[in-house]
Amino acid sequence: MQAEIPMFQRIALIGYGEVGRILAEDLRAQGLSVDAYDLKLQRPEQRGALLAHAEAHGVCLHANAADALRQAQLVISAVTASQTVVVAEQSAPHLAVGAVVVDMNSASPGAKIQAGRAVDAASGRYVEAAVMTSVPPYRSQVPMLLGGPHAAAVVAPLNALGFKARVASERLGVASATKMCRSVMIKGLEAMAIESLTTARHYGVEDAVLASLYETFPGIDWEKQAAYFFQRVIEHGRRRSEEVLEVAHTVREAGLQPWSATGTAARQAWVADLADAGLFGERGTAGFARNADWRTEADRILARVAEERTP
């Protein structure tokens, strides 16, 4: 029988990106102690914004992960997919005995199992958390599936903090497999929408294409959905491309060739490259990735492609 887990009072965030900052705000609003660490603190161009946010919300940012983890009862890992196992293995020696690690990263079942071994071997308690939709609209109440032998003991104290989690399985990998299979579809739709509608814009047939989509899927507002897809990929394409590479690993683990997933990852990374090059405005400004009309961004993409094709 699992030992009862008391209410969490001291929480550490490994990863202080968009998700980490949202969680920090919600947890601090409850008066909870929040420590955090992020690799971006080592980058001068990003350090100032992270420190300013932490100061505004009473979060203690640390220069290294060990200091952030030392007294934490609950550790939330919210990093890029490719860092899932690395963060678990590097964090494990610094965990307090019995500390719960909730891994919210979008990684393959194999990666979650490997991360879980590292944490549990260090006397921590590892729980995978599959985040089932975009975090910003829901904040800490984003639906999550928990997995692993400690999931059932963790779900009540986690939800008491305002989370919306439920147990998927006592076996590691089940929750993440659900997330990964969903992402084949969702992240694929993002990439397909950008490819389809930007191409349609080139040929001047975007209104006809949208009309056809409305007819086939009348429950979707395709104008708004298209704008959302463009915005999310422009703003988070790098992270999404890494996630979809994990999706591809998941598909391979099932014995299939991940043709759709690898194509999606390539398109997401391509848009991320354009964003990094400043095509959509200066990252961090109010106008970046915030156009209500996807056509503006499609036109920027087409103009860049035309420049690259010009001898």
Residue 46: predicted pLDDT = 86
Separation of alpha carbons 292 and 95, rounded Å: 44
Residue 310: predicted pLDDT = 82
8 Å CB contact between 145 and 160: no
Mean pLDDT of 178-196: 96
The CATH-assigned architecture of domain 10-172 is 3-Layer(aba) Sandwich (3.40)
The tokens 């104290």 sit on which residue?
A: 157
Helix axes 222-253, 294-309, angle to 10 degrees: 60
8 Å CB contact between 124 and 95: yes
Q: To the nearest whole number, what is the mean pLDDT of the chain?
A: 93
Residue 291: predicted pLDDT = 78
Nearest to 22 by CA among 104, 127, 94, 129: 104
Kindly state the percentage of the chain with pLDDT values over 90.
86
Nearest to 108 by CA among 237, 239, 254, 232: 254
Please check the confidence at residue 13 and state whether its pLDDT lies above 90.
yes
What is the Cβ-side half-sphere exposure of residue 171, based on CA atoms within 13 angstroms?
Answer: 6
- Per-residue pLDDT tens for 108-142? 999 999 999 999 999 999 999 999 988 988 999 99
Given pLDDT bands bounded at 50, 70 and 90, which one contains residue 1? very low
8 Å CB contact between 11 and 74: yes
Q: Quick one: how far is CA 209 from the chain centroid? A: 30
Separation of alpha carbons 258 and 263, rounded Å: 8
Q: Which of 86-90, 135-139, 187-191, 214-218 has the lowest mean pLDDT?
A: 135-139
Nearest to 233 by CA among 263, 258, 264: 264
Given pLDDT bands bounded at 50, 70 and 90, which one contains residue 67? very high
Could you tell me the two tokens for 109?
Answer: 């079942």
Identify the DSSP state of 94.
G
8 Å CB contact between 152 and 170: yes
- The answer as to CATH 3.40.50.880 being correct for domain 180-309 is no
Kindly state the percentage of the chain with pLDDT values over 70.
96
Mean pLDDT of 197-224: 97
Separation of alpha carbons 283 and 281, rounded Å: 6
Task: List the domain boundaries for the chain.
Answer: 10-172, 180-309
8 Å CB contact between 99 and 75: yes
- Per-residue pLDDT tens for 262-297? 999 999 999 999 999 999 987 766 667 677 899 999
Measured between alpha carbons, how far is residue 88 from residues 41, 121, 152, 163 in Å?
Answer: 19, 11, 21, 22
Q: Which of 11-20, 129-138, 178-187, 279-288 has the lowest mean pLDDT?
A: 279-288
Please check the confidence at residue 2 and state whether its pLDDT lies above 70.
no
| Diameter over CA atoms, the chain | 70
Task: Give the predicted TM-score (pTM) of the model.
Answer: 0.83
More confident residue, 45 or 192: 192
Measured between alpha carbons, how far is residue 258 from residues 84, 184, 250, 263 in Å?
Answer: 21, 9, 9, 8
Residue 44: predicted pLDDT = 87
Given pLDDT bands bounded at 50, 70 and 90, which one contains residue 7? confident
